[in-house]
Chain A
Amino acid sequence: MNFLYYSLDDGSKAFHKMKHLLDGDPFFLQTDLTPGKVIPIGQIGTDLIFISGVGKSEAICRMAWAHALSQNGKSLSDWTFIRVDE
């Protein structure tokens, strides 16, 4: 299962939230954050963890992610999108 945690900024809030949950051992440095970009950040058990920042375009990015997955024949049901509020 893939879990994408996103925040309504450039991804900083999602990064800090997941860094804490991943015991401060993320795959990448925060300077790699690019607004909109989906970034793999770690793994919990068999679950892959991703983060992103969507600015003010939450619904539009969620739709764009779904269509990108569809383009490659991937199932949306393998992904869970979770908004990080703080």
Chain B
Amino acid sequence: MNIVYFCFGSAHSSIVSAHIHLGDLPSERIPTEQEILAVGDFDSNITYFLGTLFYKGTDELGRRVFTMGMGPEMDIVREAFLSMIELSGGKREDYVFFMALPHINRLAKFGGALSRRYGLTHWGRKLAIKGIQQSYPRLIEFVKNCKNALGE
């Protein structure tokens, strides 16, 4: 089983969700700025790597956890990936996708865009972290629901 958290750029909502899933970020409290930055890949992906399947780790049940940034046409990119999985001998049902983007607030999206799209990394990253912290209870609930949907 492969779990793919996806969003627009694989820089914020999917990254934090994957690390909550893996236990790298707490699931009972809001992490500090330092804890969010310590995961390493927060606010780091660039446009060139949209469509890339990033391996983040294996969870406690042996399932591989990935993130992917899909840009604005997420349904097309997901279908492109899954149909090629099938054509190359895999099974599409081995990949479960969860969209993380709706579970962060506007501040996180605005800060993320400032940092990743417009290059204002210093202020954009600060705003993105603040927005992620404000959205964190929703992200915890989102990951919990994903795990429940997987039958955990």
Instruction: Give chain A's interface residues, CB within 8 Å of chain B.
Output: 34-40, 50, 52-57, 59-72, 74
Contacts and interface: CB of A to CB of B under 8 A. Distances in A.
Chain B interface size band reads 20 to 34
B112 interface: no
Contacts of A70: 53
Contacts of A53: 76
Interface in B47-83: 48-53, 68, 70-73, 75-83
Contact of B87 (A38, A55, A59, A64): A38
B102 interface: no
Interface of B: 2, 48-53, 68, 70-73, 75-85, 87-90
Nearest to A37: B83
Interface of A is mostly: mixed
25 contacts: A34-B79, A36-B73, A36-B79, A37-B79, A37-B80, A37-B83, A38-B83, A39-B83, A54-B76, A56-B72, A56-B73, A57-B73, A57-B76, A57-B77, A57-B80, A60-B50, A60-B51, A64-B77, A67-B52, A67-B81, A68-B85, A68-B90, A69-B84, A71-B90, A72-B88
B80 A38 contact: yes
A67 B51 contact: yes
A28 B78 CA distance: 22
Contact of A64 (B72, B75, B84): B84
B45 to A, nearest CB: 12
A54 B87 contact: no
Contact of B85 (A39, A55, A72): A72
Given A55-B73, A57-B71, A38 B50 contact: no
Nearest to A50: B87
A36 B85 contact: no
